[in-house]
Structure 1
Amino acid sequence: MDNLQYYPTPDTLIQKMWFTFKDRDFARILEPSAGDGRLLKFHGKFHDTDACEINMDLHPTLKDKGIQVVSLDFMDLQEGSMYSHIIMNPPFKDGAEHLLHAWDILYSGEIVCLLNAETLKNPFSQKRSLLNSLIEKHGSVEFLTDAFMTEDTERKTEVEVALVHLTKVPEQRHDFLDTIIDGLDRNEREDVDYDPLQELSIPTNVIQNAVKAFDCAWAAQKEAIIMEARVSHYRRMLGKSLREMQRETSHPDDINPAPKSKRGIHGALNTAYEDLKDRGWSYVIRSTEVNKMTSTKVQQDLESRFESVKKMDFTVGNIYGFLQGLAMSKGDIQLDMACEIFDQITKYHSDNTVYYMGWKSNDKHRMAGMRIRANRFILPGFSMDSWQRSLGYYARKILEDIDKVFAMLDGKDCPRYGLIDAFEGQLSDLRGGQRVKTDYFDIRFYPGIGTIHFFPNNEKIMDRLNVMVGLRRQWIPENATPEQENPFWKQYREAEKFNKGLRLTRQESWALSNRETAYRDDSYEETMASFHNNLVSSMEKLGYQSNFALVDCSSGSACHTATMSLPKPVDLAS
């Protein structure tokens, strides 16, 4: 451990950090640089806390307190969707990097973090600038002087610190999961015959075997707890051992600590039962069949609600009910997956996106539509050192999601040769700069800068994605009929021409790439109005019409004059 960076947080400051959290419903907590667990001691409940700690000498101390150590180096931790709160005092020199990583892995919840004030006041690096922007959009900061000079400070320093509070709200909450979870039975143990949809079902024998294993484990655990309590009772009746008498101790040696009261037995039984349900439901939601059906974000959303899921009894009926709920929500899941991949592609690189004038019946709320360029798009986040033999966890997940969506739009369950197949089977070719072909893309990999260039090889599927998202977000009208000369159609198809004249400001780029959350910002309306004027000006310079004859479809046949021809998305039910 770098002792020059180790500044134990004083108790008064720890209390202030805990009181900074607004949501007091602590489902599960993470402390990324735990030390001896100092930050967690004011929480009072260690059974729902995880920690990262690089100094293995401190692990026994943490475990003795009931704190689960989930990683040595916090920067290696890749999954955080199960946490509702993160509280952290990272090494001062790496504060920005640690806080940004915490934000990346958190799916939904709050972060309270202590930083060196210079990290925010001197944003000389890209990461520090990004962190300042993140705080401005999603949180607050309080600068504190003399916080490490109080009487209870173990290692005093006059450094000014920044107390940062961030709240992360999912860009897209999957409401259909609430319906699925609420529909499961919390108490029923009777196994009922179910007919799960074949497209999303773990084989019946697998489900039955899992439930049988659960029931056997529970029966054995129950018997063990009761027998341990019995043994403990009879041992106490016999009294002390000779060694205990010789030591004149008032407490007998307890070789097998067991609950000694009725309440203690109930507590032990409840803890064991909840642990088994946790294991059983974890097996289901991480199963290959559920993973094939859901995107990374849907999976994160599901895991963030795991506390609700695991309250349900682990029965064949409940498992089938859960799987049927997912299958019946397939349409919503597919639309959400398409939108998530669309956002992933358009978010990071302005060259990936083409803007057009969206179709809206209310001019006041008119907004720009977006579509992905058909010839090429670029995605970052795929850095790979020379010694690595595979992509990281999240990089793989992004590629898996892209393949899932494009296969879905092609009416298939999965590609025959997908992006992951290419990185597993032709990694040396990709490292060497060769262009590799998969079912839906030609790809070229740049490991040094961590980008992949995607060249779609099926324009129709790309068009289906653009149309599906455009319809979902009301950029494109529904129930289109053939009107080839409609001005909307013309500017939609030829948007690349007038996009060349667009010069986006930094605020416009951010707002357009973060539509799901940017609208909460006070300046969002002003920013979008500026972009709207920019887009109209660029269109009109090249003679494109920007005001379409929008007609209220409730007027009947007149609506026909305001529609245009668009390719239909693939019929996924066929």
Structure 2
Amino acid sequence: MFDKEFYPTPLEVIQSMQIDCNGKIVLEPSAGKGDIVDYLKSNDAKQVIAFEKQKDLNKIVSSKCNVIGYDFFDCTAEQISHINLIVMNPPFLNADKHILHAWKTAPEGCEIIALCNYETIGNSCYSSRKELKSIINNYGVTSNLGDCFSIAERKTGIEVGLIKLYKPVINDESKFEGFFMDEDEDEPQENGIMPFNEVRALVNRYVGAVKVFDKLDAIKNELTYITSELGIKDFSFTVGYDKKITTKDEFSKHLQKISWKYIFDKMNMQKYVTSGVMKDINNFVETQQNIPFTMKNIYKMFDIIIGTRENTYNRALEEAIDNFTKHTHENRYNIEGWKTNSGYMLNKKFIVGWCTEPNYRGGIGINSYKSNFEKLLDLTKVICNIVGENYNSISSIEYSACDKTDQGYLTTNGNRVLSRRELNYSENYVNYNSFDANKWYSWGFFEFKVFKKGTMHLKFKDERVWYLLNQSYGKLKGFSLPEI
């Protein structure tokens, strides 16, 4: 019935993990039939959410907690930005990759408690294990639990390791607090109509939809009354493809989250703030449920983002450099006297893994979704802020291999067009997101090469830009660079 990687966690082993889940929102990424979920709930976890890939097991654990997906590797940081703790017993075959994904998607301040084959810790023969070992050395502890699965439903016969990681809280400046808590008052207008603007219209839609839910609630109560003798109860409705809503509070929270996301999508905020700040925005929406979705609060959010822009970009600068240098020696630029324990400057040439993939046209494409390419975009935003470049002026990297002249881009139908609006349904740009291996291309502040194994090699076009970036980073770390 279940696959070969299914090893239920014995209660004795769970107890040995010393889990403090009281009052916390906890994620179980490989829930199985729910042994860890049961323990978390019986020990006063505030809420338990889970993933489980195997369909039969997913059905079982869905009766115990909120299962938000099948494959944990599809989980994004935005989905779990409100959690406090991750407790996991991932498949031992690739436990290192599961734990790394948990680390990368977990919010700041989150604790990760994970079981694994002890060889995952002791034998760093793979790059993923080396990366995990580096993270453990900086942010965690490990212990050897021995052959603790000898008492389990399915025995492993191997030594089991316990990893505890503590993701540090880096950002104290922008927690999205201090919003006005009073509701907006309706302003009387001629004929009772409010002046139109997009923000007001969205708030009006939000308020109107929540009010309409009262009617739905009345209908649900009436249906329950009529059908209760038949054993029918617990009416709900579905938002999207899988979101079951049973109460007005649930609907209001879900609609509020969607509305905040709509605001930032509409304002194209992703182009102006880093991925770390976007996680904080989602965390605000997820956790600050008592803050009304009002015009004042929306504009207050914009004020906070603008007012903390310098702190935000300083944090982004540090993260952007550290992402490429902290665990990768060849990306570091060393100079005499630099205190390496406080960080490493970025080299003129550097390598980024997990950015590319083969495409159906025989070339190599940039994987811009759930990959390290997001870190390159953050780095680009930081550089734009330092050198005064408009981020919107930098075209998408997918266009870098296209054939372009003053007459526009060459299309697969032999035409030249200036924008995608001129494309026919059946055509695309020649070489759009299709690159040759080991060939230099130009994009933004960099020249880059791609390789089938997923890596990108990059070098700065302008040494002055490279210098200003590292100069700013050095200033944050209290170190001055010599002039070039």
TM range (shorter): 0.7 to 0.9
Query: Which of 464, 474, 478 is the equivalent residue of 1:474?
Result: 478
Aligned partner of 1:377 in structure 2 is: 350
2:396 and 2:292 mapped to 1: Cα distance? 38
Structure number with the higher strand fraction is 2
Show the 5 A alignment for 1:40-59. Answer: 40-44=37-41, 48-59=47-58
Distance 1:390 1:125, change over 3 A: closer
How far off is 1:331 after superposition?
2.1
Cα gap change, 1:191 to 1:59, in 2 (>3 Å): farther
1:90 aligns with 2:90: yes
Which protein has the larger Cα radius of gyration, Structure 1 or Structure 2?
A: 1
Residue 257 of structure 2 corresponds to residue 278 of structure 1: yes
SS at match of 2:174: helix
1:218: Cα distance to partner? Answer: 0.4
Residue 282 to residue 424, structure 1, CA distance change in 2 (3 Å): farther
Check 1:186–1:354 CA distance in 2 against 1; reply closer, same or farther (3 A cut).
Answer: same
How far is the alpha carbon of 1:315 from its aligned partner?
Answer: 0.9
Q: 109-118 or 139-148, which moves further after superposition?
A: 139-148
Q: Distance in 1 between matches of 2:46 and 2:266?
A: 26
Per-residue deviation, 1:276: 2.5
Question: Equivalences for 1:317-336 in 2 at 5 Å?
Answer: 317-336=296-315
Q: Partners in 2 of 1:384 and 1:367 — Cα distance? A: 34
Q: Render the CA deviation track for 1:371-407: whole Å, top value 9, x for unaligned.
A: 5455x33333324234475413333312322322232
Query: 5+ residue gaps in structure 2?
Result: 188-195, 237-245, 403-430
CA 1:134–1:410 in 2, change beyond 3 Å: closer, same or farther? closer
1:416 pairs with one of 393, 405, 419: 393
Give matches, 1:160-559, under 5 Å. Answer: 160-170=159-169, 172-173=170-171, 175-178=172-175, 181-190=176-185, 205-233=197-225, 240=229, 252-254=230-232, 257=235, 268-285=247-264, 288-347=267-326, 348-357=328-337, 371-374=345-348, 376-387=349-360, 389-391=365-367, 392-418=369-395, 420-422=397-399, 425=402, 426=431, 430-448=435-453, 450-454=455-459, 456-476=460-480, 492-493=482-483
The aligned amino acid for 2:461 is N
Change (3 A) 1:400 1:232: same
> By percentage of residues, which structure has more helix?
1
- Displacement after TM superposition at 1:76 (Å): 3.7
The whole-number CA distance in structure 1 between the counterparts of 2:45 and 2:103 is 23
**Could you report, residue by residue, the CA deviation over 1:536-571 in whole angstroms, capped at 9, with x for unpaired residues?**
xxxxxxxxxxxxxxxxxxxxxxxxxxxxxxxxxxxx
- Give the Å deviation of 1:424: 7.8
Residues 124-180 of structure 1, C-alpha deviations (whole Å, 9 max, x = no match):
444334434433432223323453344xx423454332222221114x31x2213xx
- Larger mean CA deviation between 421-430 and 456-465 belongs to 421-430
Matched residue of 2:219: which SS?
helix
C-alpha spacing 1:373/1:143, structure 2 compared with 1 (3 Å) = closer
| Alignment partners' CA distance in 1, 2:464 and 2:440 | 22
Shift in Å, 1:432 = 4.0
Distance 1:133 1:351 in 2: 16
Does 1:154 pair with 2:153? Answer: yes
TM-score by length of structure 1 reads: 0.66
- Counterpart of 2:66 in structure 1 is 67
Distance 1:113 1:273 in 2: 35
Matching residue of 1:35: 32
CA distance in structure 2 between the aligned counterparts of 1:91 and 1:367, rounded to whole angstroms: 34
Map Cα deviations across residues 44-68 of structure 1 (whole Å, 9 max, x no partner): 2899433222222333333333422
3-state SS in 2 of match to 1:155:
coil
Distance 1:125 1:421 in 2: 30
The count of aligned residue pairs is: 430
- CA deviations on 1:322-372 (whole Å, 9 max, x unpaired) are 1111112122223333333233344334354142446xxxxxx99989654
Q: 1:415 to 1:8 in 2, by over 3 A?
A: same
Relative to 1, partners in 2 of residues 1:366 and 1:390: Cα closer, same or farther, differing over 3 Å?
closer
Q: Which residue of 1 aligns with 2:144?
A: 143
Are 2:38 and 2:64, in contact at CA under 8 Å, matched by a contact in 1?
A: no
Letter in 1 for 2:68: V
Q: Supply the AA of the counterpart residue of 1:293.
A: Y
CA gap 1:51/1:232 in 2 versus in 1, 3 angstroms? closer
The whole-number CA distance in structure 1 between the counterparts of 2:384 and 2:131 is: 35
Question: CA offsets per residue over residues 510-529 of structure 1, 9 Å max, x none?
Answer: xxxxxxxxxxxxxxxxxxxx
CA distance in 2, matches of 1:369, 1:48: 37
CA contact (8 A) 1:114 1:164 kept: yes
Q: Deviations over 1:210-248 (max 9, x none)?
A: 212211210111221133224534666xxx4xxxxxxxx
CA distance in 2, matches of 1:90, 1:127: 15
Contact 1:399 / 1:420 at 8 angstroms: preserved in 2? no
Q: Deviations over 1:288-333 (max 9, x none)?
A: 5321221112223443444434431111111111111111212222
- Partners of 1:115 and 1:367 in 2: how far apart? 29
1:73-117 CA-to-partner distances (Å, cap 9, x unmatched) read 323434354432211111222222222222222232111112223
Cα distance change, pair 401–89 in 1 and its aligned pair in 2 (3 A): same
Matches of residues 104-115 of structure 1 in structure 2 within 5 Å? 104-108=104-108, 109-115=110-116
TM-score when normalising by structure 2: 0.77
Return the alpha-carbon distance in structure 2 between the equivalents of residues 349 and 165 of structure 1: 25
CA offset at residue 207 of structure 1?
2.1
Displacement of 1:453: 1.9
Deviations 1:473-520 (A, max 9, x none): 3213xxxxxxxxxxxx7xx247xxxxxxxxxxxxxxxxxxxxxxxxxx
